[in-house]
Structure 1
Amino acid sequence: MSETATPAVQSPIDRLLAVMAKLRDPNGGCEWDLAQNFSTIAPYTIEEAYEVADAIAGGDPAAICDELGDLLLQVVFHSQIATDEGLFGFDDVATAISDKMERRHPHIFGDVRTDDVRVQWETIKAAERASDGPKSALDGVALSLPALLRAQKLQGRAARVGFDWPDAEGPREKIAEELAEVVTAPDESARAEEIGDLLFAVVNYARHLGVDAESALRAANDKFARRFQAVEDRAGPDIAKLPLDTLEMHWQAVKAAERS
Structure 2
Amino acid sequence: MNTFNPSKRTSQMAAENQQDALQNLVAIMALLRSPQGCHWDREQTPESLKKHILEETYELLEAIDNGEPREICDELGDLLLQVVFQAQIFSERNEFSLSDVAQSISQKLIRRHPHIFSDAAHTEQEQRWEEIKRQERAARGQSNKLAQRLPKTRPALKRASKAAKTLPCLSPCELVDQIILQLHRIRPSLSGNQAMKSVLEDELAKVLFALVQLTATIGLDSEDLLRKKTTQLIAEIDSENNL
TM-score when normalising by structure 2: 0.78
Residue 51 (str. 1) matches residue 55 (str. 2): no
Aligned counterparts of 1:164 and 1:178: Cα–Cα separation in 2: 23
Residue 129 and residue 48 in structure 1: after superposition, are their counterparts in 2 closer, same or farther (change >3 A)?
A: same
Q: 2:190 is matched with which residue: 183, 188, 197?
A: 183
Residue 85 in 1 paired to residue 93 in 2? yes
Aligned-residue offset at 1:105: 0.6
Q: Count how many residue pairs are aligned between Structure 1 and Structure 2.
A: 220
Name which of 30, 34, 49 aligns with 1:41.
49
- Distance in 1 (alpha carbons) for counterparts of 2:142 and 2:72: 40
> Which whole-Å CA distance do the structure 2 matches of 1:34 and 1:189 have between them?
49
Conserved in 2, the CA contact under 8 Å of 1:152 and 1:207?
A: yes
Preserved contact between residue 179 and residue 198 of structure 1 (Cα < 8 Å) = no
Structure with the higher helix share, 1 or 2: 2
Q: Which has the larger radius of gyration?
A: 1
Where does structure 2 lack aligned partners over 5 or more consecutive residues? 1-16
Q: Displacement of 1:179 after TM fit?
A: 3.0
* In 2, Cα distance between equivalents of 1:65 and 1:187: 52
Q: Residue in 2 aligned with 1:103?
A: 111
Letter in 1 for 2:51: P
Structure 1: 5+ residue stretches without partners: 1-8, 238-260
CA contact 1:37–1:81 (8 Å) conserved in 2: yes
**Structure 1 pair 110/97, CA: closer, same or farther in 2 (3 Å)?**
same
| 2:231 aligns with one of 210, 216, 222 | 222
For residues 54-73 of structure 1, the aligned pairs below 5 Å read 54-73=62-81
Shift of residue 205, structure 1, vs aligned partner: 2.7
1:114-140 deviations in Å (ceiling 9; x for gaps): 215333322311232244364303422
- Give the Cα separation in 2 of the matches to 1:41 and 1:86: 19
Question: Is the CA contact (8 Å cut-off) linking 1:114 and 1:120 kept in structure 2?
Answer: no
Give RMSD over aligned pairs. 2.7
Matches within 5 A, 1:83-232: 83-115=91-123, 117-131=125-139, 132=141, 134-156=143-165, 159=166, 163-168=167-172, 169-170=174-175, 171-173=178-180, 175-176=182-183, 179-180=186-187, 183=190, 186=194, 190=198, 191-192=200-201, 194-232=203-241
CA 28–90 in structure 1, closer or farther in 2 if over 3 Å, else same? same
Question: How far is 1:188 from its partner?
Answer: 8.9
The verdict on how the C-alpha distance between 1:187 and 1:82 changes in structure 2, with shifts beyond 3 A counting, is farther
Structure 1 length-normalised TM:
0.74
Confirm or deny: 8 A CA contact 1:138 1:154 kept in the other structure. no
Equivalent pair of 1:178/1:198 in contact (CA under 8 Å): no
